[in-house]
Structure 1
């Protein structure tokens, strides 16, 4: 596969590095500032106290151990789908985790055996065994193998699961790290093969080498056999850029290398590196996302209109013109219609594969050349489901996709150019789908916009019941229905348990995501961010109007940017929500741009140091919105000490403030992991069981006491 990005190429909270100098602030202004000291003794002592209280209160639930064991069994079940990571000629790779290998096996099988549904796996790297041998808590961050033979690989391993990793050269033939091979020390690096003996490296070169967002600012060319410190500069950005990096795309047997300078979170200037090492600017607009190269055509997704082509379209430029630097005119490849939105694009040797959302229902089309244009071929995949591209086989023009829904177990398909889909593997059913009703409804937001949402509830369940709404609302990241046991960020089987309890589970497609293309996201940028919150409230109130739940019996769940959403919900509408699950959240929007990766996201939220921007940010910033004398619903915060994207101080400080103002707070900060919190299935299972116990205690039993 040459290139596979979602159309919303940057989802909240991509990796970053150092922290910019903190804004001038003192404990007199912010009495909880000490909780920003990530590994400080005082802060960690407080965290462990909160963790202990929460653990003691919720593990006392009679169903806790049963839930934890069931969640762990589901996560570790060897019947899980072995998704193909990459296809290397006649081999396919996969990262496999189970009870015996919680950190994973990177393995390969012949493509023929994989397509036959009986893969014959061969272990390449046992991450658990490697960590044990090296005395490291390694977490797999992927491997980039050099085409066309894919024998030399750049393996990225993170100590404990943070975004920082070590990059090491590994040989697929010897199944060992290359003695004296390339090695980039621990940092949040960006590394690309230029050729077998040369890398393009963006890393922490020393003082001044990182942007204020924490990404590499300088990309250098590093030759084999020379010290890393002697690498030659290829491209530099400025301190206020987001990052400078590189990437490579295959077009048949031709490999093209690009250098990219991210001038903002949603804008990047891109150069093609010619064979002589010179750089030539591409004609791709800085707001567009490059998706691949096919038959000498550079393919990109438009986030903004370009000439006669609307935002949301896919266009191409001839590579001959790009290489020559002649700024060729773009040509239309695909334009979505009606309520469609491009979700993902991939190219193989003779096809462009586009996954679509049509009123948030997934589809896949294959495009092949038809004269000067492109012919569309629909694919024989189940309707009314979530369709996700996993990877593709270039030489055989095959796309691998998963299809699933709330009550439809994930199924892996191999889709051919003629549109025929071959089922390779399906998860076993975890519950009786006939006992659950799934519906899609539309709520009307404050400004009249229709907001879709999906709802699941047990057939015959009494109403009104308690409702759990999960939402995100930012960074072009759509929220799509997945099987009720499979989504770790939504706490694995929590949704299944909740529906089996007779309650209501909802996934809300509020604005800020990519459900209806770029405009759906732009409707929440900067001063318009309140639209996302209003959309959430509209969904909650629609549930009440339908008689499915009542005010105060609704929980909101959100992680990362969704944690900001949930924090705003409880502070703006404590009358509407009775509980909140707030994971790895942004909450102190006055300081967010000075904490870890925060400076990266100012295009989304605004700059709180600019008075005009703080005027609108301050209207929803949850941490500042907490007031004495107001009764807020009991909140469950979860996070990771080692999250080096969103600072754990956000959750810590808001928890402390709520507690000091007399509000009940549940708190679970995992001491390993990263932004996704769980470094392995054991932690994911614990968190799922804790959250179920919390929801039952607060919403069903009505217990608002502190843990």
Structure 2
């Protein structure tokens, strides 16, 4: 509704320069807001743009005004319609999710191609006829209400699922009778961050974590505090749910309950400030068992893999920066970690228990290898993969030889494979048919040198016939221990087939090389992330992959921060920039919704050392007048309640207030869309067409129709 609202604003001027149209940006009012910390005065003239667009008419008017200017500019780009038409064809292919087998039934998602939301299906046998369980495409007129996470009960008779509206992180939990298709009366509100819920073995109910009901008007702004774990028994109201676990002494702790496959152990993983991790366990075979905390550490990662009898299997960075697998004997009075699979030269990226074996996925220079181990930790071979790419983890159960995994690469659409643990046979289960020829593309990896001498890997993807410097899109993330791995995107194919190049840099801050790689890009080391990204751009030019004036950059969320920071630091290096849903005000990020979780990567703005470091790179505070900036198209959404849109609103207003050259500095604000998940296919296509047309204009990519 904001994109097309009629608001009195200055019109797009028709005069042009040799470089670009002169754009009359909306006049954004300023406020006399100056904060002083540690003797430093920091102006915040656009503080009012932090207000929720749904509750503040002035912010809503500003959004409408900005979108009107942006829409008018994007309408002038010649490649926009070509990209949209081609993207529509590229997205129109059948795709599947990895099936979840419970009670002899196979539950899986499927999208026929251009459906705004994927549909959930069930089969009563492996190769049986699938029937629709849940089709969310009729839930809202705009397609922005999504089926988010889901989990079948162990007997396959019930399905717990979550509803995501308008891209919000908030979820409503509902329960479906699989046989009849009837939605039961059970409803759980104020759940967040995925399906933090798990069925008990007999299907009588489930454990879940939730936050308190927020104050009216603060649902999408207030901090997420005071989480609790409850048990819900089917057929009862949420008000009757039994409180299982809470930590009133630690309101910033967040809980993730899960039940092991055998149904015996309720494992509550706790995350808290300072990279604090706790693991608390209840034995569900004992009716009156009390929660027992068996792990309590700072700055050490722990993840539960599964269990067998009284043995828990976990991965940890304790004594192993690249992770190892350990066991805990829950029969002991004081369980202590016992090493099962030692740390490898490669980084352990996840493990599962399937068919009496441990399936361990390792990262080797950001590419996946899957190794097998016996339950006593002995090597047992590898899984033969179809090529160089990324495996999404082998899913299955300890007592069943059948497992499934997804495999994809930059030019290889995601294919679902079935794996037989006993015979070691890998067979395709769902193979997509796409409207392009993957054989026409070349994927290579090279290593470049960052400012401090660190070698950093980078993937380069392009058509095989592109041999000269070409317009290039450089992407990275660089934070929160998240690896950026080879993966398929039909949207990126639309860029590549026009002769553009895609470069993906595995900069520090992620987990591509374990804990040390993450630590090297967080807190007071955050500048390494920006240096790595800048060095990637310089290397692409030096190696002749792209030329001066042909380099565009893109990143989302923490990657949006990355783009905003490096544009301020090296505006001369880039022709265009696409910061998406970025964290742009580094002095106030921890005051909203999920921002409090990010202090472990960014630091605490109220601490002097962190404050001074954050101020050096905060995108909002470091826009430099008198310097020519690249063309910028920032993107956000009105219902993003993870990185609230005020970050991008304030950043855009600051850009537009400064003398930073004649290139456009615009913002595209989507409605009824959040941080990214659940976004309807038609909105993804529209947005991607706008982004590619924008950077094509400013990198000199000639866009032509594709047959």
**Contact 2:93 / 2:432 at 8 angstroms: preserved in 1?**
no
8 Å Cα contact 2:588/2:605 also seen in 1: yes
Number of aligned residue pairs: 649
Q: Verify the 8 A CA contact 1:76 1:681 in the aligned structure 2.
A: no
- Check if 1:570 corresponds to 2:574: no
Note the C-alpha offset of 1:212.
8.0
Does structure 1 residue 318 correspond to structure 2 residue 334? no
| Equivalent residue runs for 1:548-563 within 5 Å | 548-563=545-560
Counterpart-to-counterpart distance in 2, 1:212 and 1:260: 23
Query: Which deviates further from its counterpart, 638-647 or 628-637?
Result: 628-637
Residues 561-585 of structure 1: CA deviation (Å, up to 9, x unaligned)? 1101111110011111121111111
Map of 1:171-250 to 2, 5 A cutoff?
171-179=177-185, 182-188=186-192, 190-194=196-200, 196-206=203-213, 213-223=223-233, 227-238=237-248, 241-250=251-260
The match for 1:125 is 134
Deviations 1:606-627, CA, capped at 9 Å, x for gaps: 0112122111111111110012
Q: CA deviation at 1:546?
A: 1.1
Identify the range of structure 1 (500-509 vs 569-578) with the bigger mean alpha-carbon deviation: 500-509
Q: Which runs of 5+ in 2 are unaligned?
A: 1-32, 703-707
Deviates more, 1:218-227 or 1:654-663: 218-227
Give 3-state SS (helix, strand or coil) of 1:619's partner: helix
The RMSD of aligned alpha carbons is 2.9
Q: What CA distance in whole angstroms lies between the structure 1 residues aligned with 2:223 and 2:538?
A: 38
User: CA contact under 8 A between 2:572 and 2:628: conserved in structure 1?
Assistant: no
Aligned counterparts, 1:257-406, within 5 A: 257-264=266-273, 266-274=275-283, 275=286, 276-283=288-295, 285=297, 287-296=300-309, 297-305=311-319, 311-321=322-332, 326-338=333-345, 340-369=346-375, 372-389=376-393, 391-406=395-410
1:74 aligns with 2:97: no
Contact 2:323 2:347 in 1 (8 A): yes
- 5+ long unaligned stretches in structure 1: 1-22, 114-118, 487-491, 703-707
Equivalent position of 2:52 in the other structure: 38
Whole-angstrom distance in 1 between the partners of 2:402 and 2:241: 39
> Aligned partners of 1:605 and 1:84: how far apart in 2?
34
Distance in structure 1 (CA, Å) of the matches to 2:232 and 2:461: 53
Residue 567 to residue 401, structure 1, CA distance change in 2 (3 Å): same
Identify if the C-alpha distance between structure 1 residues 168 and 407 changes in structure 2 by more than 3 Å, giving closer, same or farther. Answer: closer
Match of 1:546 among 543, 547, 550: 543
Q: Alpha carbons of 1:191 and 1:136: their partners in 2 closer, same or farther (altered >3 Å)?
A: farther
Aligned-pair CA distance for 1:537: 1.3
What TM-score do you get using the length of structure 2 for normalisation? 0.85
CA drift at 1:655: 0.8
- Shift in alpha-carbon separation, 1:360–1:289, aligned structure 2, 3 A: same
Q: Deviations over 1:386-436 (max 9, x none)?
A: 222263255432332222222333322212224321122322354334433
Quick one: distance in 1 between partners of 2:258 and 2:678?
31
How far did residue 101 of structure 1 move? 4.1
**1:535 and 2:532 correspond:** yes
SS of the aligned residue for 1:473 comes to coil
C-alpha distance in structure 2 between counterparts of 1:625 and 1:439, whole Å: 35
Q: Distance in 2 between matches of 1:507 and 1:406?
A: 10
- Once residues 666 and 422 of structure 1 are traced to their aligned partners in structure 2, the CA distance between those partners, rounded to angstroms, is 48
Distance 1:367 1:577, change over 3 A: same
Question: Which residue number in structure 1 is paired with residue 682 of structure 2?
Answer: 682
Structure 1 residues 124 and 499: CA distance shift in structure 2, 3 A:
closer
Displacement of 1:684 in angstroms is 0.4
> Residue 213 of structure 1: CA displacement?
4.6
Q: Tell me, yes or no, if the aligned pair for 1:361 and 1:383 is still in contact at 8 Å.
A: no
Q: For the residues of structure 2 that align with 1:168 and 1:616, how far apart are their CA atoms?
A: 45
| Equivalent in the alignment of 2:147 | 140
Give the SS at the match of 1:427. Answer: coil
Where 2:594 maps in the other structure, the secondary structure is helix
TM-score (norm 1): 0.85
Aligned equivalent of 2:474: 469
Map of 1:447 onto structure 2: 452
What SS does the aligned partner of 1:282 have? strand
Report Cα offsets for 1:452-502 as digits up to 9, x if no partner.
00112233435332221000001111111223xx2xxxxx42x32333333
